[in-house]
Chains A and B, each alone.
Chain A
Amino acid sequence: MINAIPVLIMILIVPLLIYFTIKWLSSFNIFTLTVKRWVFPVYTVILIVAFGLSFFLPLDVGSNESGIQRFDKEKVPNLYIIPQALGSVDLLKDYKVQEWVIPYDGDVFGIDTQGEEYINNIGYERKAEADGQIEATFYVTPYVIDNLDMTTDFMPEMQVTMQDDTLVVKTPTPIRHNISVLQKEFPIRQFAADGWLEGLKEEQSFRVVDEVSSDEAQPQWINVDNDRIFSTELLYLKIPANMEVKLDGEHHIFQVFPD
């Protein structure tokens, strides 16, 4: 019933308001006969000019300064599961964000994360050789809303350094990322947008709940849920053959064994 109240207001009050506004406006004789005849033609010309101009402005996603891109894949790898499940990170190269090569000659090191973000998903594999270099790679899958990639290329940088026998991961202070998008009016979206009816039903909260998120058969993939794809992170380390990672109670650190 709460749903109906704004509708009632729309139906009853707004037309009245508009009706009286028009009455009130037309009660002034500011509109001479000539003005009255030219209002509509002038308006039409303005509209046509605006329509034409819209083709020359960077109004499409990807064409303007904001740098937002469309994300067209239906699913992204779940970084929490992929490395263990597949025993490899080769698949993840599209989602690589930063990498570091850190020389270290000890045989064991611990991991410490500092800063406002927290990385809890740390995997490592042992390289075949003992070259005294830790290769760290940071992967993040994008946060997608309405097929728009909201994160890739916008993430602040993170720092990974070795201090004594501790790999220090300095996470960035989150920055605010405001984006404005335009949608065409609903009679256009009605026939053009995917999942229009489902969206409507959801808006009216009568959607039959069917789980679209975790596909039981393939948990390593994240599907679009509710027009969104949630972000996952992975810090992946390749450590020399002779080295050990000190496990701690704070981080989820796991070893990956490539085939």
Chain B
Amino acid sequence: MSLNKVTTRQIVMKQYQYKLKAYYQVFNSMVILQVIALLFSTGGIMFRGGRGFGLDISLNTYTADMIIIFTFLWAFINAITITTKAYREDDFIFVTNRQTQHLSNMLFLITASVIGGVTAVLVGYLNDIIFFFTTDPKTFAGYSELITPFDVLTGVVATSLYVLMFCAAGYLVGVIIQLNRIFTVIIPVLIIGFLIVGGQTEGIPVNVRIYLFYVGETDVLLFMLKSLVTSALIFAGSFFLLRNKEVRV
């Protein structure tokens, strides 16, 4: 009989590579969702009219924000998925403990966030091109704002970080549901309650404050700090909750 020593680092990396292979289908569902979002974003999001001399002006603004939103939802749902029984127990066929499992899940979600962020921004270009070819050239004016390549790069980083926060949130929700099924009911109720109560408070409602805290941040570095700290806290909370979870019960 020979006993083998393994390190946490080794196992986390092995699990991470394993997950990239075994959870590969999450990227297929991302493709499906982004394509659905692409179909949805054909409608203009904003219409503005005005009267100039001899002109009845209408300006329609189109954006692929829907793709971003759908990518967030994808991130949220898939993070929940990887906390479900089937996925959690996969790991226990191989070498694992709950710590390495959690770390490798986190690495996987970070990777998924980057992939989600990059593809979401790129689908935006596909959307723009499709729009260009399907719109009357006389009415097509192009990008209303000057966007530099640096802005796009910043956008990719920001989108990935948003996606990461949604992954973290989904992961936490998934973990809580794994603790007790009753939370599948309680969590939506809490969210609705929060929005209702938030809407009745004095001044700016809490949910809007949260929204403005992230979406209203125009400094890239501060945004990175906010989103990374948020994600890290949520992941830490998830790990704390799941550290004693039994499997194959």
Contact = CB atoms under 8 A, between A and B. Distances in A.
B129 to A, nearest CB: 5
Given A44-B119, A57-B132, A145-B48, 18 more contacts: A4-B198, A7-B207, A12-B192, A40-B31, A47-B119, A66-B142, A140-B53, A171-B54, A174-B54, A178-B58, A180-B135, A181-B143, A184-B145, A192-B145, A196-B218, A197-B212, A200-B216, A233-B53
Interface stretch (B99-107, B149-157, B236-244): B149-157
Size band of the B side of the interface? Answer: 35 or more
B4 interface: no
A7 B205 CA distance: 14
19 contacts: A3-B199, A4-B196, A7-B195, A11-B191, A15-B77, A18-B77, A25-B32, A37-B24, A50-B122, A53-B129, A61-B141, A66-B140, A143-B57, A155-B54, A155-B55, A174-B54, A179-B58, A192-B148, A204-B212
Interface in B36-75: 36, 44, 48, 50-65, 67-70, 73-74
Interface residues of A, number: 89
B141 A68 contact: yes
A180 B76 CA distance: 33
B54 A175 contact: yes
Contacts of B199: 1, 3-4
Contacts of B55: 143, 150-151, 154-156, 174-177
A48 B122 contact: yes
Contacts of A191: 151, 154-155, 158, 218-220, 223
B233 to A, nearest CB: 21
A188 to B, nearest CB: 3
A219 B94 CA distance: 76
B187 to A, nearest CB: 10
B180 interface: no
Contact of B64 (A21, A146, A185): A185
Contacts, number: 287
Interface in A63-84: 63-66, 68, 70
Interface string A43-65: 11011101101100111111111
A60 B142 contact: yes
B120 interface: yes
B59 A145 contact: yes
B76 to A, nearest CB: 7
Contacts of B216: 196-197, 200-201
A36 B24 contact: yes
A100 B125 CA distance: 47
A61 B48 CA distance: 18
Contacts of A19: 77
Most central of A21, A117, A173, A190 by chain B CB within 10 Å: A190
B128 A190 contact: no
A14 interface: yes
B1 interface: no
Contact of B54 (A15, A117, A142, A190): A117
